[in-house]
Structure 1
Amino acid sequence: MSEPEARPAGRVVRRQHQDASDRPFIVIWESTRACPLACLHCRADAVPNRDPRELDTRAAKDLLRQVAAFGSPSPLFVITGGDPFQRPDLLELIAYGGEVGVPVAVSPSGTPTLTADRLREVHEAGARGLSLSLDASTPELHDGFRGVPGVYRWTLDAWDTARALGMKVQINTTVTPHNLHDLPDVVRLVREHGAMLWSAFFLVPTGRGRRLGVLTPEQTEDVLNFVYDIGLTVPAKTTEAHHFRRVAVQRRIIEDAGDDHVAVLGLGPLYASLRERTAELGLDRGERRTRRPPLDVNAGRGFVFVSHTGTVHPSGFLPLDAGSVRTRPLTDIYRTSELFTGLRDPDRLGGRCGQCEFRRICGGSRSRAYGVTGDAFAEEPWCGYRPGSFPYRDEVEALLGTTGPVRGRGAV
C-alpha cells in the first residue's frame, strides 16, 4: 500500500486562534448554585436558595470588565449555575456584557423559569446563544436523571422557542451508564429540532456525580467513535473527553489508509450496538454535513471557571482554587498562577498521559484525573489507549508534527 499524503492537522483538530497562555477561549461563570432541580450528576450540589456570598451585581459587572481586559477578541462568557434565572439581575448582566464587548451566552436549567417570555427577554438583552441539557430521548429517562417530573417537556419547549427566536442552541448530554444505548435517539432529536452543536459530556466524579456509575475505558472508546461517526449527521463535540481529539486523528489516518477502524481500534459490542441503532433511525442516511473538527481546549488551557463566590478554577469539575476575582485580576490568575501555567505544560503529565504521542492535542481530563486520584496531573482514568500502540506512527508524526512520546513527570 502506498503511503498516504499527510493532511494538515488543523483540518482534524482545530487550534485556538489566540495564544492559550495569554487568553482563554471561554470563561464559565457559575452565577448561582440555586436551582429547583436535583440532578443525579450535579457538580455543584445545587441547593434551593441563593448563597449570600455570591458575586452581587456590582462584582459581576467587575468580572465582565476583567474578562474584557483580556483584549479582542474577547473570550465567550457563559452564565451558568445552578439556574441563572434565579438571579434577578440576569438581563442587566447580559446587556452589560454587550456594553463592554464581551459576548454572553446563557446555560439555564430546564425548569418552569424557561418560559417563552423569559427567553425572549434574554435574546433581546443580547445573549448570543443558549445551552440546554438533554440527557435522554424520553421523559422517563431524562426526568428521572434530573430528579423532577416535567423537565423533559420544559427543555424541548425552550429549545424550540429559542430556535424560533433565532438563537444559537447547544444541546448537552451527560454520558453515563443509564443512557449509553439511548444516545442515537438523542441525536435523532438534535437533528429533528436543530442545534448549532451537540455536546456529549463524559461524567466527572465530583459533587453528586460521585455516586453514579462510571464507564469502562472500552465503553468510552466505543462512545467516542460513535460521536465521531455522528459528526456527519449533526455538529458534535465532547466535554471532559479530551481523548476525542486523539480519536479524530486516528480515524482520519485510518480513513486515509483505507483500513477498517473497527478492527484497527478494537472497538467493542457497545459500538456495534450504537451503529446498529443509528442505522435503524436512518441517521446514517440523507444529507451529510462536513464533520466539525474538535477544538484543542482543556482545563486551564483556553478554559477558565469562576465560581459563584468568585474563586477561579481551571474547570468547574476541577475544584482547585487559583485565587479570587475579588482580590486579583482574572487576567493575572489565568496567565501567571502556578496551577494554570502547570496545566498548560504537557511535560508535567504523569502515567500513560505523560508517555502518549497524542498528549499535546489531548492531555486527558485533568478534572477526572483529580476526581479519581487526587492528582490533577495523573493519567486519564477513562482512557484505555496504550502509548505507541497505534500502528501508524509515521502518519501521526506527519499529521501532528510530533517526534514521538517524551517522558514527563511520573511517566511509566
Structure 2
Amino acid sequence: MPRPAGIGSVKPVDWAYDRAPMIIYWELTTACALACRHCRASAQLEPPPGELTHDEALRILDQVADFGSPMPHVIMTGGDPMRRFDLDGLIAGARDRGIGVSLSPAVTPLLTRERIADMAALGVQAMSLSLDGSTAAHHDGVRQVPGTFDATLRALADANEVGMPMQINTLVTDTTVADLDDTYELLKGYELFQWSLFFLISVGRGAQLREMSPGDAERTLIKWNRRRPDAPFRIKTTEAMQYRRIAAQQMLRAGRTEQEILDSPASRGFGIRDGNGIMFISHLGEVMPSGFLPMSVGSVREHSIVELYRDTELMRALRRPDGFKGDCGLCEFSKWCGGSRSRAYAWTGDPLESDPLCPYKPAEARAGVHAGRPAVSGVGA
C-alpha cells in the first residue's frame, strides 16, 4: 500500500484515491444573478443551452452510487444552484440513494431563510457561502453587486438560526490578504464548522485578478497555521495545498512523531487534490479533475463517471505525485501535499508541473539534484 514520503514504521495510509473521490463538485447550472470578479464559471444571468436534463441528472446520481461504499459526498454548486429548476428533486434523489449532499449557493434574493430551512428539511448536510472581506466595500467590490455583504451576513445568521452547518469561503489575493484578520474577527461572531481560504486561480473571470507572490503566500499560510489551534472553527485552504506541508513542518519542529502527525486533525485533508479525491462535473456533463482545472476527461452523456474517474489517463496521472515535474516531483512532502494541479495548469499549460505558488525547495533540489528523479524518503523541515 502506498505510503506518504517520510513514513517508516507507522501505520500504512492509502494516499491515492483510486477507488472513488471523496468529494464531487457538481455545477448544476452557470446561471447566477451575481457577476463576481473571480468567478471560475464566468456565470451569466440565464441558463445556457445544453445543460443536463432532469433525467440525465438523476442518472448521474445513480452513477455516484455505483462507486460503492463509502460513497462520495456531492457538493451542488454553480453559478447559483438555486437557479436550477429541479434543485429540490435532485437533493431528494441524492438522499434517497444514500448520497450526502452539501450546497454552495450564491447570495441573491433567492436565498431566503425559508429556503435555507427547506434545504435542511430536504437533507442538505451543510452549506457554504463566500465572504470576501470584513466590510461592504471589500466584499461588494469583489461580488460586483451592492448590498451583497449585508445579505451574506443575514444569510449566515439565518443558517445559524435554522441549524444549518456552515462553511465560509474567503478569496485570498494580493489585495484581499490584508483584510483577513478583520474578516476572521467578524466570523468569530457566527457559528461555523470551517473557514476556507481560497487562494485565487487565474481561470474564468479570475484571470482579471492578481495572485499573491510565493513568498507572501507562504508567510500568510504560516501565520494562519499558527492561529489554527485557537480558532473557534477549522481553518483550511483551497488551492494552497502547501498548507499541509507547513502544518507538518511545524509539528515536526515541535517534536511530534510522524504517527502523531497522521493521527492529528491537521492531517484530515492530506493527499486530497484535483483528480485525487476530487472530481468535478460541469453543467454540460463534462467531467474534470476540478472546476479550476478545465481539462475534460469525457462526458457523462457518453461514459460512466466511475469509468472517467478511475480509468482515464489524466486522472490516473494526477494520483501519482512521483510523476509530477520540477520541485513537486522531487518534494519529500509530495504525497501529503502534491501542490495545486490547477495552478500548475493555469500557469504552464501542464497539470503535472510544479505549483508556482510554493517557494519550498525539496531536499534533493537544495542538493542540486536534477528534476526527474523520484522523491526521497524522509520528511524534511
- Secondary structure at 1:250's aligned position in 2? helix
Amino acid at match of 2:108: T
Per-residue CA deviations over 1:178-220 (Å, capped at 9, x if unaligned) read 2111111111122211201010011111011111112111011
Per-residue CA deviations over 1:349-403 (Å, capped at 9, x if unaligned) read 0111111111111111000000011111111111111111899xxxxxxxxx962
- Secondary structure at 1:78's aligned position in 2? strand
- Which of 158, 166, 169 is residue 166 of structure 2 equivalent to? 169
Deviates more, 1:63-72 or 1:380-389: 380-389
Q: Give the structure 2 partner of residue 331 of structure 1.
A: 306
Per-residue CA deviations over 1:8-56 (Å, capped at 9, x if unaligned) read 9999xx967x961001000000001011111111111111110121112
Q: Give the structure 1 partner of residue 108 of structure 2.
A: 111
Quote the Cα distance in structure 2 between the aligned partners of 1:60 and 1:8.
Answer: 45
- Secondary structure at 1:237's aligned position in 2? strand
Q: Give the structure 1 partner of residue 239 of structure 2.
A: 240
Amino acid at match of 1:332: E
Q: Is the 8 A contact 2:193 2:234 kept in 1?
A: yes
Mapping 1:308-323, distance limit 5 Å: 308-323=283-298
Q: Give the structure 1 partner of residue 152 of structure 2.
A: 155
Amino acid at match of 1:403: S
Quote the Cα distance in structure 1 between the aligned partners of 2:100 and 2:55.
Answer: 19
Q: Give the structure 1 partner of residue 329 of structure 2.
A: 354
The two structures, once aligned, show a CA RMSD in angstroms of 2.4
Quote the Cα distance in structure 2 between the aligned partners of 1:241 and 1:180.
Answer: 14
Quote the Cα distance in structure 2 between the aligned partners of 1:306 and 1:299.
Answer: 13
Q: Is the 8 A contact 1:106 1:129 kept in 2?
A: yes
Quote the Cα distance in structure 1 between the aligned partners of 2:8 and 2:252.
Answer: 11
Does residue 345 (structure 1) correspond to residue 320 (structure 2)? The answer is yes
Quote the Cα distance in structure 2 between the aligned partners of 1:195 and 1:21.
Answer: 31
Quote the Cα distance in structure 2 between the aligned partners of 1:91 and 1:125.
Answer: 7
Q: TM-score, length-normalised on structure 2?
A: 0.89
Amino acid at match of 1:184: D
Q: Show structure 1 runs of 5+ residues with no match.
A: 1-5, 258-289, 392-400, 406-412
Quote the Cα distance in structure 2 between the aligned partners of 1:294 and 1:139.
Answer: 33
Q: Give the structure 1 partner of residue 223 of structure 2.
A: 226
Does residue 76 (structure 1) correspond to residue 51 (structure 2)? The answer is no
Quote the Cα distance in structure 1 between the aligned partners of 2:30 and 2:334.
Answer: 34
Deviates more, 1:380-389 or 1:362-371: 380-389
Q: Structure 1 residues 390 and 340 mapped into 2: Cα distance closer, same or farther (>3 Å)? A: closer
Mapping 1:11-410, distance limit 5 Å: 20-232=17-229, 233=231, 234-256=233-255, 292-296=266-270, 297-388=272-363, 403-404=377-378
User: Shift of the alpha carbon at 1:294?
Assistant: 4.2
Q: Is the 8 A contact 1:354 1:379 kept in 2?
A: yes
Quote the Cα distance in structure 1 between the aligned partners of 2:236 and 2:160.
Answer: 20
Dislocated runs of 4+, deviation >3 Å: 6-11, 290-294
User: How many residues are aligned here?
Assistant: 356
User: Shift of the alpha carbon at 1:256?
Assistant: 2.2
Q: Is the 8 A contact 1:15 1:295 kept in 2?
A: no
User: Shift of the alpha carbon at 1:310?
Assistant: 0.4
- Secondary structure at 1:315's aligned position in 2? coil
Q: TM-score, length-normalised on structure 1?
A: 0.82
Q: Show structure 2 runs of 5+ residues with no match.
A: 1-5, 257-263, 367-374
Quote the Cα distance in structure 1 between the aligned partners of 2:108 and 2:228.
Answer: 29
Q: Structure 1 residues 374 and 10 mapped into 2: Cα distance closer, same or farther (>3 Å)? A: farther
